[in-house]
């Protein structure tokens, strides 16, 4: 069954044009009556795009999850900022992105979330990366020693990647978009997606955030040239 896309706002706002371009069958609803009017397909097939134009968006988000606990919700913000994104994730949202994102980006957001991942913007990703690195650095040595050394969860993660895949993983973990990585590496966005897909598969992760968490605990190999003694 295909995913059913719903756009919620209170009061009902015009459906964002790019959201309709990305998902022609998207339906708009008033968040204040969603408990009685929301369609009820299998929850895993329902992806709700929630507008932050309503100051009560957090309450609406909680009500959505109470009505359909397995619904996947993305908060759309006209001016994304990390504090709001973090709050949305804490409230149960699976994604946070720009309300005026291009259709291709919105489709990518949906694909990641449909496969069980999370989607956050680069600023929030950097904030989460920083918090993760601080937490990892503060762990006792004994606790670090108990972490299994496997390709998908720790020290050997980098060794499973090709040079190109490692470069893409490094850039994505720094919060860069596919377009930015493509420009940096002088390759197409399609090639970036192909490399990123291979990285996800090799490391057993589903999204950028999980990738960051995997690699933040890994020890990146030192290039051979850096290990050679100076003349």
Can you spell out the DSSP letters for 152-174? Answer: TTSTTGGGGS-HHHHHHHHHHHT
Residue 35: count other Cβ atoms within 10 Å of its Cβ: 12
Q: Is cis: bond before 84, omega within 30 of 0?
A: no
Cα dihedral 9→11→15→16 (10° resolution) = -70
pLDDT for 1 equals 56
pLDDT above 50 for 153 = no
pLDDT for 185 equals 93
- pTM attached to this predicted model: 0.63
Asked if 211 contacts 202 with a C-beta cutoff of 8 angstroms, the reply is no
pLDDT for 142 equals 45
pLDDT above 90 for 70 = no
Per-residue confidence band for 229, with pLDDT thresholds at 50, 70 and 90: very low
Rounded CA gap, 120 and 97, in Å?
7
Which residues make Cβ contacts (< 8 Å) with residue 197, sequence separation at least 6? none
pLDDT for 76 equals 93
CA distances from 173 to 123, 170, 181, 227 (A): 12, 5, 11, 24
């Amino acid at each position: 069954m295909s995913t059913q896309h719903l756009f919620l706002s209170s009061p009902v706002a015009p459906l964002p044009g790019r959201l309709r371009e990305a998902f022609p069958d998207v339906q708009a609803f008033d968040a204040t009556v969603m408990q009685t009017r929301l369609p009820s397909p299998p929850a895993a097939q329902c992806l709700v795009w929630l507008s932050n134009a309503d100051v009560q968006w957090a309450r609406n988000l909680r009500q959505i999850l109470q009505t359909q606990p397995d619904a996947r919700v993305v908060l759309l913000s006209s001016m994304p900022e990390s504090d709001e994104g973090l709050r949305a994730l804490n409230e149960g949202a699976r994604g946070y992105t720009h309300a005026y994102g291009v259709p291709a980006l919105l489709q990518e957001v949906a694909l990641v979330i449909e496969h069980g991942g999370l989607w956050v913007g680069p600023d929030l990703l950097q904030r989460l990366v920083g918090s993760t690195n601080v937490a990892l650095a503060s762990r006792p040595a004994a606790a670090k020693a108990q972490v299994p050394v496997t390709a998908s969860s720790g020290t050997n993660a980098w060794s499973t990647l090709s040079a190109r895949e490692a470069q893409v993983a490094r850039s994505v973990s720094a919060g860069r978009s596919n377009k930015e990585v493509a420009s940096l590496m002088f390759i197409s966005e399609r090639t970036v997606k192909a490399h990123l897909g291979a990285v996800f598969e090799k490391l057993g992760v589903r999204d950028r955030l999980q990738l960051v968490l995997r690699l933040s605990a890994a020890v990146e190999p030192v290039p051979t040239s850096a290990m050679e003694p100076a003349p």
